[in-house]
Structure 1
Amino acid sequence: MNKYILSAFLAFATTFGAFAQANISPAKAQSKKIIIMGGILHVGNGQVYNNGYVVFEKGKITAAGDATTVKFSTADGEVINANGKHIYPGFIAPTNNLGLVEFESIKATIDFSEIGVMNPHIRSIVAYNTDSKVQATLRTNGVLMSQITPQGGTISGSSSVVQLDAWNWEDAVIKTDDAMHLSWPTMPRFRGFGGRGGFNAESFAERTQNAIAELKSFFAEAKAYNEGAKPAETNTRFAAMAGLFKGTQRLFINANTQKDIVAAVNFAKSFGITPVITGGSEAYLVTDFLKENNVGVVVDKPHSLPNNTDDDVNQPYKNVANLVNSGVLVAISIDGFWQQRNLPFMAGTASAWGLDKEKALQTITLNTAKILGMDKSIGSIESGKDATLFISAGDALDMKSNKVERAFIQGRDINLDNLHKQLDKKFSDKYGIK
C-alpha cells in the first residue's frame, strides 16, 4: 500500500511542478504577409541560397529564392531581416511516442501501447496530449512536426502526423492515420555466456516462425475481408486495415537484421504493399534489394552501439551515409519523447560521417516528408507548401550553434519559450549568472 501512496504523491508533485510553470498558448493564425530577407536559405531539397528570401501568406509559402532578384518594403508586409542567419524548413520527427507518455514511472500517463498482439484498430492520435511540456522543448531546436506512433505487440496500430503548436489533437493533426506500424517477429540475440531460462535456439526459431505464420494468416484474412462483399458483422481489426490494401495508408515495418529486412519486404510485397523499413541497422547490407523494391528506410538512433560484436564500432554513425550514397531514400529517427529535441544533431552526426550537409538536412525534412507521403505540403521551403519553417542564428544541425530565434508553423509565429528556458532563467537569477 505504501508504494501506491508514494507513487500517487510523486505523480501529484511532478504534475504540480510542471503546471506551476507558465503555460504557453498556441499562436494565432497568420494575419499579414511575412517576408524573410537576406538569410542563408536551406530549401530542404539540396538547394542553398546564400542570400535568400521567403514570402508566406495565410499559412502558405508564396515565393522563395534568391533575394538579389526581388525588392520588398514594409508596405508589402512584415519584413524580417535575417542577414547572416539560416532559414530552414521545419524538422520532422518520425516514429516516436511524443505526447503519448508524460511520466515514464507512472503507468496512468503511458498511452503508447495496448494489451494484445494484433491491434490495427488502435489510433494513436486520439491519445495525443497537446498539453505536454515536451513539445515546446522540441520547437526550440527546430523540430516542428512529428509522427505520433503507437508501440507494442506485432501490429501496433496507426500513427498520425501532427504539428507541435495546438490546443488539442484535432487542431494538431496534419495527416490522420498516415501509416500502420508492424514489428517483424525476430529471433532474440544472445550476448555473452549462458542460455536463457531453458530455451534454446531451436525453440526460439519455432516460436518466431509461428508468429510469422500467424501474421501472414491475419493479413490474408484482413485482405479477404476488405476486398470481398460487405460482411454481415463488422470486424474492427480487419476493417482498420482497409487503407493498406487500398493504397491510402502506408505500412511501416520495424526490422533490423538483413535477413529480417528481406523477409519483411517480401511479406509486404506478397500483399501488394510497398513498405517502409524502420530501425534498419543492417539495411546498408541490402541496399540493392531496397532500391529494386523502392523501399524507404527510417534509420533509428545513429548514436547507438553496433548491432553485432564484430561490426565496425563506428558503423551506426555511417549507416545513413551508406544508405543515402547508395541511392536509398532515408529518414532519421530517434527513440523516446524527450529525446526528439536531439533529432537535428543526429543528422549532424550523419554529415560528419560521410554525408553531404544538405543531404543530411533532407533526412529530417524532405526525405521524411516523402516517406510519410506528405512531400507536396511539407518538408521544404517551396511555393505552395505550408509555411512551417524557422530562423536560426547558426547551423541548426550543430548543437553548439543551433539557436532558433523565430519559428513559424503554418504561417503562425509561435512562442519559443519552454520549461527548460524558464528553469534556466529562474536559477540563473538566483545565483546571479548572466
Structure 2
Amino acid sequence: MHTTPHDWITTPVTMDLLRGALDLERTAHGVLPHRLTARARAQNTDAALAMAASQPSGVRLVFRTAATAIELDTLATKRVYVGAPPRPDGVYDLLVDGRLAGQASVAGGNTLTIDMATGTAAHQPGPVGSLRFTGLADGVKDVEIWLPHNETTEIVALRTDAPVEPAPDRGRKVWLHHGSSISHGSDAASPTTTWPALAASLGGVELINLGLGGNALLDPFTARALRDTPADLISIKIGINLVNTDLMRLRAFGPAVHGFLDTIREGRPTTPLLVVSPILCPIHEDTPGPTATDVTALGAGQLRFLAAGDPAERASGKLTLGVVRDALAKIVEQRAAEDPNLHYLDGRDLYGQADSAELPLPDQLHPDAAAHRRIGERFAELAFAVDGPFTDRSA
C-alpha cells in the first residue's frame, strides 16, 4: 500500500492526541471521536443527533513532531441526498505551527443515502481511505489535522516518518460552544473556516464545538455535557432548530431555557456565559415551523427549504425567530441581575438584513462559506472585544 521510502511509525490515536472531542469510541476499524459524552449518547434516541455528534466539527489531531510526511487512514460516512447534487468529499485541513499548510480529502467510505421526502435512510458500507501530507519542513513543529466538520470519521491509523508526542498546552483559554447546523459548520469550505473555528482562531482560544446540526433543542443531556466539560468560556446559540422542528410552544420554551442555563451553572457558576439568539433567516423571522424541503426545487436538483407554518399561529404560542429573540433577551436580562457573567448577543449582529441582501442563504437556511467568514469575524469582534463578554475583567 505504501510506495514512499519513508520508515513509517504508527502511533495509536488516543484522547491526548485529540482536541475538540468529548469521547473516543473504539470501533471494529479504529476509533471514532464523538462530540457528546457516552452518557449523553445513551440517553439519545434520535438518529439525526447521533449522526451530528459523530461528525467531528472542530475535532483535530494535535501533536508535536519532526516528521516531514504524515499518513492518515480513515473510514468516512458520507451523506447522499436523493434528488440533490452530490456532496463533495469532506476536507481535512493541515496546520503547521498554526498556519494552513495543506488540504486533502479521502475517497471511499460508507454511504448514507437520505431521502428527504420520505424521511428514510439507507447505509452502504465502503472501504477505508488514506490521505498523505508530504514535504513538511524539517525540525520540530506543532501539527494539527482538522477532521472534516460534516463527515463522520473513524480514524484507522496515523503514520509519520518521525515520532509524535502530545503537543504542549499553550495556555490558551478553552471556549465551549453549542449551537445548530450553522455552528456545526453547514456549508463552510473546510473545518478551519466554520464560523466558530474562525472566531476561535481570531480570539486566540481553543475551541470545543458542540454545534449539532438540527439538534440545538435544549436537550437536558446536552446541558449536562456542557456543564461537565472544563471550559473558560461558554456560549450557546439557541432558536433556529426549535423553529425548524416545531418542537415546543412559548409556554415550554422559557422554562426550558432557564433549565438549560441552570444546569450549566450547576458546574460552571461563574464562567462567562454568552446566550446568542438566531442570525437572520427570512423564511422564519415571522413564520413558524416546521421547516420543510422545497419539493419543487428538489425536483430541479436543488436542496432548498421553506417555512411550513402559518404566521397566525404565533397567537397560540408557536415559535418564530422574532418570538425566540424577544424571549431570550428577557430571560438573560432577568437572570443577569443575579448573574453578572451572563450575557446576550442578538444573532442579527452577526448576520442581519444587510448581510442577507449581500450574502443570501443559498438554501434559505444555511450560510455559505463567505457568510461563515463574516459571522466568525463579527463574533470575534464582539465577544473578544476589550469590553466584550469573553474579556477577563478580573485583571
Larger Rg: 1
Q: Which has the higher relative contact order, 1 or 2, with Cα contacts under 8 A spaced 6 or more apart?
A: 1
TM-score range, shorter chain: under 0.3
More strand by percentage: 2
More helix by percentage: 1
TM-score by length of 1: 0.26
TM-score by length of 2: 0.28
